[in-house]
Amino acid sequence: MPRLLLHLALLLLLSHGFPAIESQQQLFREYIGAEGVNVKFSDVPINSSVEFHFILSFAIDYTDSSRPTPTNGIFKPYWDTENLALSQVSSIKNQHPNVRVAMSLGGDTIGEHNQFVFFQPKTPKTWLHNAIDSITDIVQAYNLDGIDIDYEHFMPGADPDTFADCIGKLIMYLKGKKIIRFASIAPFDEDVSQRHYIALWRKYGHLIDYVNFQFYSYDKGTDKKKFLQFFDEQSRNYRGGKVLASFGTDNSGGLKLAGGFLEACDQLRREKKLHGIFIWSADDSKKAKFRAEIESQTFLAAPSSIRPGPDPVLV
């Protein structure tokens, strides 16, 4: 297969990392489209003073049958493609020059029975070939800027090095061919997940721009002190990475906005540790009219205070 040989030859040549996207604006990221609640990009308030990333959730390498099965790297969009279509991607990016749109790969479950999505390549070489082709097609079709890696389930006895090489080489190729501008990973505090993502980070961390650590995976009732301890722990695990602070607007755990999340972020900012904020998810925030998004972006746009005064114009 000549194209596969070309892929592999390029991978051998690309031995150096690519710099993260540099911006003077603070970074805000938001997952969107996973829960079928008809949320649109245009529903979400966007502050022009932040760098804003929408992350489409999810592209999955499974069939869309009544009993989904793995396809060995052939990804398809499983987000709400009716409300988050190509035309909507182009429209939101044209209206807001500070907006970028990425897609997340994997996710937690698929189908009406919430079947777990596993990272399950039949053969790593074929998975990589299929993933390169199918992800390139989706990125180009939707005019996307980046990818996020959010596999959350791994087969018993799965090899972290296989995951690291498949995902690392995928990112390397997509960046080397300038198909994507940035890549992120979305680990959480669970032993199997951490083994896989830390293996990826150790081998290919120089290619990964952001670590979307799921701090909302910690216990409910997490307070500011514990959150800051968790943040420092994960910053050590992903040393040198841009670990983002996060919370969920669903019924997940972790430190919530009302529990002092922005106060904790303010301390991180004073210590020069804050690289940005992300939220799971716009779908869950819709019922509260995106108040969490407004407050988080207002905080990021302010120079130093968690109480910056009146909100800037949000559209």
The question of whether 51 is a catalytic residue gets the answer no
The values of phi and psi at residue 77, to 5°, are -70, 130
| Active-site residue (options: 51, 152, 233, 293) | 152
Nearest to 128 by CA among 181, 83, 164, 154: 164
Cis peptide before 49 (omega within 30 of 0): no
Instruction: Give the separation between CA 170 and CA 167, rounded to whole angstroms.
Output: 5
What is the crossing angle of helices 191-204 and 224-237, to 10°? 50
Instruction: Give the separation between CA 261 and CA 211, rounded to whole angstroms.
Output: 18
Q: Which residues, in sequence order, are CB contacts of 91 under 8 Å at separation 6+?
A: 41, 42
Instruction: Give the separation between CA 80 and CA 102, rounded to whole angstroms.
Output: 14
| Three-state secondary-structure class, residue 124 | helix
The values of phi and psi at residue 235, to 5°, are -65, -30
**Which of the residues are catalytic?**
152
